[in-house]
C-alpha cells in the first residue's frame, strides 16, 4: 500500500465575487421554510459506502455521515466534530488520541462508541476496495479502543498530518450493525450520524436529505431539508435553475453557461466566482507499448497547447497549468513550461526521431462521458486535433460513463486517460502522493522511491508547510522528467443560485465540498 499522508496547510482564500447588483448570495436574512432547498450538481455518487469512495461521492457523505474531525466555518485546520477532543499524546507524533462526544448515536439509534469508530476505520483497509480510500491510511498501524469513548490511532511513523486524514469524508463513522467488517454494504442504505439522514435515494437522479434530530456536532443547520438532483450536463442543470426547479447549482457548470450567466442583467439569478484548486490532467499507462515510452510522453508534452484549451474550450473559466500542484499552494512550480516552453512541433519531432520513432504514433485517449463537466468530450477532441496537426500522432478517442470508466483504468485498459482531481485538502502533498507508489488513486503503478521514501516523508515531518517548498519542487522535477502525468488546467469555483438563497459564502469547506446545511431562503430584503 502506498503511503498517503496529509500535510498541514493554509487554505487559499475563496474570494467570492457577486456578479449581480442589488442582491447577493452572501446577504444576511432570516431562514425561510418553503420546502427543501434543491441543489443541482453533475457529480453523482459512485457509491454510498465510504469504504469504497475516493471521489465526488464525498459531496453527499459530508452531509449524511460524520467524522471525528471536520471544518467548522472559517477554519482551515480540522476541529472536533464527533470527537469532543483530539490530540497527539506523545512527543513523536505517533499516537493520536480522540475522545468522543457523550451520547452520540447513529440515525437508527445505535450507539457510537470507541468500538464503532475502530470498526469504521479498520474496515477501510480490510476491504481495500478498488478506487477506495485505503491509501489515505498509509501511516496507520492500528486503532485501539479504550473504554467506550476513547480511541487511539497508533502510527507507523511520525505524521503531523494525520488529523487531516480523519477529517476527510472517507473516514465517516458507520454503524457496525449495517456495515460488514470485510465487505461493502450492498442494500443501498445509509446509517450515519451526520446533520441529515438520507430519506430517499434514486441513483443518478436525486438524494433527499432531511434533518437528523439525533445529530450532535458543530453544524448549525439553517434549513430542515435539502434535495440534491444529479444532472448529466450543465445545460440541463442551468435550464432547471432558470425554470426554478432547483435553487442552487454547484459542481459542473459548463464554460458557455458561466459566460452566459456572467453576461446577464438579471435580478433573479446570482453567479459567484471563487478561486479553485481542482485540476485536470492526463495519465499515461507505463505498460502500454507507446504510452510507456518516455519519448512519446515528452513529445506530447511538447505539443499540447494549454492556453488554447483554456481560452477556446473553457472560455477562460480555467487557467493553463504547468505543474501537478496548482497555483496558490506552497510548492507550485511551472516545470512543464520551464522544460518545454511554448508548443513546438519541430522540437517534438526531434524528441521522437532521436528515440528512433519516425512514423506517426498510434494512441487511444480515453475520457469519462459523465464527469468533470460538459466540456470533457470537447477537450479531448481538441487534444486529438492538436496532436494530429503535428503530423506525429494518430489519435483514437473513446469514452465511457464514470462507473465503467473507473473499472477500465483500474484494470490498466487505457493507454492514455483523462482524470480530474479535487483536493482532499489543499496542500501540495495532496497533488503528488495520491499518484505515486505501487498502489495509488489511478490504478497505474508508479514506483518512484525518491518521492515516496525520501521527499514526502521528509515533508510530513514539518508542520510549517511554508518550510517544505524545496521537497515539493524536487518531487515535481521528477514528475516533469518522467512525464507520466501531464497537467492541463486549473479550475475556478462557480456557484449559481436564485436570488432568494443565502449562505453560500459559508457553504464550502476547505476541500470545496458543499456543506448544504448553510443554505437558507431569505424571508426579507
SS3 string of 131-192?
Answer: CCCHHHHCCEEEEEEECCCEEEEEECCCCCCHHHHHCCHHHCCCCCCCCCCCCCCCCCCCCC
Q: Where does the pLDDT of residue 78 fall: very low under 50, low under 70, confident under 90, or very high at 90 and above? A: confident
pLDDT at 517 over 50: yes
267 phi and psi, to 5 degrees?
-105, 15
- Please write down the HEC assignment for all residues of 373-438: CCCHHHHHHHHHHHHHHCCCEEEEEEEECHHHHHHHHHCCCCCEEEEEECCCCCCHHHHCHHHCEC
Rounded-to-integer distance, Cα 18 and Cα 496, Å:
10
Is the Cβ–Cβ distance between 82 and 291 less than 8 Å? no
Q: Are 140 and 3 in contact (CB under 8 A)?
A: no
**Angstrom distance (rounded) from CA 345 to CA 85:** 58
**What is the Cα–Cα distance from 483 to 80, expressed in whole angstroms?**
40
Taking 60 as the threshold, does the pLDDT of residue 31 lie above it? Answer: no
pLDDT band for position 74 (50/70/90)?
Answer: low
What average pLDDT does the segment 85-113 reach?
93
pLDDT tens-digit profile of 110-126?
999 999 999 999 999 99
**pLDDT at residue 87 in the model:** 93
- The pLDDT of residue 17 is above 50: no
Those residues whose C-beta lies under 8 Å from the C-beta of residue 424, and which sit 6 or more positions away, are: 6, 136, 164, 168, 170, 430, 511
294-303 vs 376-389: helix crossing angle, rounded to 10: 100
- Cα separation, 92 vs 235, in Å, equals 52
Q: What is the pLDDT confidence band of residue 263, given thresholds at 50, 70 and 90? A: confident
| C-alpha dihedral (62, 66, 70, 71), degrees to nearest 10 | 50
205-259 pLDDT tens trace: 999 999 999 999 999 999 999 999 999 888 999 999 999 999 999 888 889 899 9
Q: DSSP letter at 30?
A: P
Quick one: pLDDT at residue 520?
Answer: 94
Q: How many CB atoms lie within 10 A of CB 310?
A: 20
pLDDT category of residue 275 using cuts at 50, 70 and 90: confident
Measured between alpha carbons, how far is 510 from 6 in angstroms, rounded to an integer?
14
pLDDT in tens, 402-425: 889 999 998 999 999 999 998 887
Please return the burial class of 341, using the count of CB atoms within 10 Å of its CB with bins 0-12, 13-18 and 19+.
exposed
pLDDT attached to residue 33:
54
Instruction: Give the pairing of strands 393-400 and 416-421.
Output: unpaired
DSSP per position, 225-266: EEEEEE-SSHHHHHHHHHTTS-SEEES---HHHHHHHHH---
The pTM assigned to this predicted structure is: 0.78
Is the CB of residue 2 less than 8 Å from the CB of residue 437? Answer: yes
Nearest to 373 by CA among 250, 231, 234, 487: 234
Is residue 321 pLDDT above 60, yes or no?
yes
Amino acid at each position: 500500500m502506498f503511503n498517503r499522508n496529509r500535510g498541514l496547510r493554509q487554505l487559499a482564500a475563496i474570494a467570492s465575487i457577486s456578479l449581480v447588483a442589488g442582491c447577493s448570495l452572501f446577504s444576511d436574512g432570516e431562514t425561510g421554510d418553503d420546502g427543501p432547498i434543491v441543489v443541482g450538481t453533475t457529480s453523482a455518487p459512485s457509491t454510498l459506502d465510504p469504504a469504497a469512495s475516493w471521489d465526488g461521492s464525498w459531496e453527499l457523505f459530508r452531509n449524511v455521515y460524520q467524522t471525528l474531525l471536520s471544518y467548522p466555518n472559517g477554519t482551515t485546520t480540522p476541529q472536533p466534530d464527533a470527537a469532543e477532543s483530539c490530540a497527539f499524546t506523545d512527543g513523536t507524533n505517533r499516537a493520536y488520541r480522540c475522545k468522543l462526544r457523550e451520547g452520540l448515536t447513529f440515525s437508527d439509534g445505535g450507539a457510537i462508541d470507541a468500538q464503532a469508530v475502530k470498526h469504521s476505520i479498520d474496515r477501510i483497509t480490510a476491504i481495500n476496495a478498488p478506487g477506495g480510500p485505503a491509501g489515505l491510511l498509509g501511516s496507520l498501524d492500528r486503532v485501539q479502543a479504550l473504554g467506550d469513548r476513547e480511541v487511539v490511532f497508533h502510527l507507523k511513523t511520525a505524521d503531523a498530518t494525520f488529523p487531516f486524514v480523519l477529517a476527510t469524508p472517507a473516514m465517516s463513522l458507520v454503524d457496525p450493525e449495517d456495515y460488514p467488517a470485510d465487505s461493502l454494504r450492498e442494500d443501498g442504505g445509509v446509517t450515519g450520524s451526520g446533520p441529515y439522514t438520507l430519506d430517499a435515494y434514486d441513483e443518478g437522479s436525486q438524494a433527499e436529505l432531511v434533518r437528523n434530530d439525533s445529530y450532535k456536532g458543530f453544524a448549525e443547520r439553517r434549513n430542515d431539508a435539502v434535495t440534491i438532483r444529479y444532472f448529466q450536463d450543465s445545460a440541463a442543470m442551468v435550464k432547471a435553475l432558470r425554470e426554478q426547479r432547483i435553487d442552487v447549482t454547484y459542481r459542473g457548470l459548463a464554460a458557455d453557461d458561466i459566460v452566459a450567466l456572467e453576461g446577464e442583467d438579471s435580478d433573479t439569478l446570482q453567479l459567484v466566482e471563487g478561486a479553485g484548486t481542482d485540476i485536470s490532467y492526463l495519465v499515461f499507462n507505463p505498460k502500454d507499448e507507446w504510452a510507456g515510452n518516455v519519448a512519446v510522453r515528452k513529445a506530447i508534452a511538447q505539443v499540447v497547447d494549454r492556453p488554447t484549451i483554456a481560452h477556446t474550450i473553457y472560455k477562460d473559466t480555467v487557467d493553463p497549468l504547468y505543474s501537478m500542484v496548482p497555483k496558490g499552494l506552497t510548492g507550485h512550480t511551472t516545470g512543464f513550461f520551464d522544460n518545454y516552453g511554448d508548443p513546438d512541433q519541430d522540437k517534438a519531432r526531434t524528441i521522437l526521431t532521436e528515440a528512433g520513432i519516425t512514423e506517426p504514433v498510434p494512441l487511444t485517449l480515453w475520457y469519462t462521458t459523465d464527469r468533470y463537466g460538459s466540456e470533457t468530450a470537447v477537450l479531448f477532441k481538441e487534444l486529438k486535433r492538436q496532436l494530429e496537426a503535428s503530423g506525429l500522432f494518430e489519435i483514437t478517442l473513446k469514452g465511457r460513463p464514470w462507473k465503467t470508466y473507473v473499472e477500465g483504468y483500474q484494470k490498466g485498459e487505457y493507454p492514455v486517460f483523462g482524470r480530474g482531481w479535487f483536493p482532499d485538502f489543499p496542500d501540495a502533498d495532496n497533488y503528488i502522493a495520491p499518484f505515486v507508489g505501487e498502489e495509488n488513486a489511478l490504478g497505474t503503478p508508479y514506483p518512484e522511491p525518491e518521492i515516496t521514501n525520501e521527499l514526502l516523508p521528509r515533508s510530513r515531518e514539518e508542520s510549517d508547510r511554508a518550510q517544505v517548498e524545496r521537497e515539493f519542487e524536487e518531487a515535481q522535477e521528477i514528475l516533469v522528467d518522467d512525464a507520466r502525468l501531464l497537467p492541463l488546467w486549473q479550475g475556478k469555483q462557480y456557484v449559481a443560485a436564485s436570488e432568494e438563497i443565502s449562505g453560500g459564502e459559508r457553504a464550502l469547506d476547505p476541500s470545496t465540498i458543499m456543506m448544504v446545511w448553510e443554505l437558507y431562503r431569505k424571508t426579507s430584503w
